[in-house]
Amino acid sequence: MTISSILDWIQGSALSVAIREGGLPYPVIGGLHLLSIAWFGGMLLLVDLRLLGLAMTTRPVSDIWAMAQPWKRVGFVVVVVTGFLLTWAEPIRLYESPSFWIKMTLFALVGVHALIFHSSVYAQPEKLDEGITPKAKLAATLSLILWFGLILSGRLIAFDDSFDR
């Protein structure tokens, strides 16, 4: 089973055809993908900005965390599910897109970021109420860079054709 045959199978699957050629589904799923950035990307920013001491500094980190965390989780699920559906709709084009692979690399790095920082920073927000550790600031900075990179590389996918290759 070659990669090309897998891509062909996905591209020809009923779900892929329905999203790609159904008219409304593609922009609606794309819109939800974008909306989840608007609804929940802000919460991620808020937590990271708090860790960097730039927003809501008069409030304890654990309070901000308790407020934003459930919404961040919902947002993550929505953005990943809609992103998966958009990918499923156009596997061949995306497989050939350098921007898409940059985006997937950054997405994998988000996983690495969670492995490194989740238990030591995000899982114990009460500890950060006493003082924000340099490690927490590093985690917040990297998180902001990763997520902006994800937005940028995602946006660049639509512009692939305008670049000389």
Partner 1 sequence: MLTEFLRWLVNSPWSHAMNAAEWVFPTVQSFHFAGFAISIGTIAIVDFRILGWGRSRFTPAELARDLMWWTSAGIAIMLITGFLMFSTDAVGYHNNPAFEFKMVCLTLAILFHYTLHRQAVGAATPGVVAKLAAVASLVLWTTVVASGRMIAFI
Contacting residues toward partner 1, per CB under 8 A? 26-27, 30-31, 34-35, 37-46, 49, 55-56, 58-59, 63, 66-68, 70-71, 148, 151-152, 155-156, 158-159, 162-163
Cβ proximity to partner 1, 136 vs 150, nearer residue: 150
Cβ proximity to partner 1, 12 vs 70, nearer residue: 70
Angle at 55 between CA 67 and CA 32, to 5 degrees: 55
Cβ proximity to partner 1, 23 vs 111, nearer residue: 23
How near is the Cβ of 66 to partner 1 at its closest, in Å?
6
Of the chain, the end-to-end C-alpha distance in Å amounts to: 28
The first and second tokens of residue 16, run together, are 């892929």
How near is the Cβ of 68 to partner 1 at its closest, in Å?
7
Which amino acid is present at 77?
V
How near is the Cβ of 77 to partner 1 at its closest, in Å?
15
Q: How far is the C-alpha of 139 from the C-alpha of 137, rounded, in Å? A: 5
How near is the Cβ of 5 to partner 1 at its closest, in Å?
31
Cβ proximity to partner 1, 55 vs 104, nearer residue: 55
Alpha helix (H) residue ranges in 60-159: 61-89, 91-95, 98-117, 125-129, 134-157
CA-to-CA dists, residue 99 to 8, 19, 133, 143, 148, angstroms:
21, 21, 34, 19, 14
How near is the Cβ of 133 to partner 1 at its closest, in Å?
23
150 DSSP 8-state letter: H
Cβ proximity to partner 1, 7 vs 151, nearer residue: 151
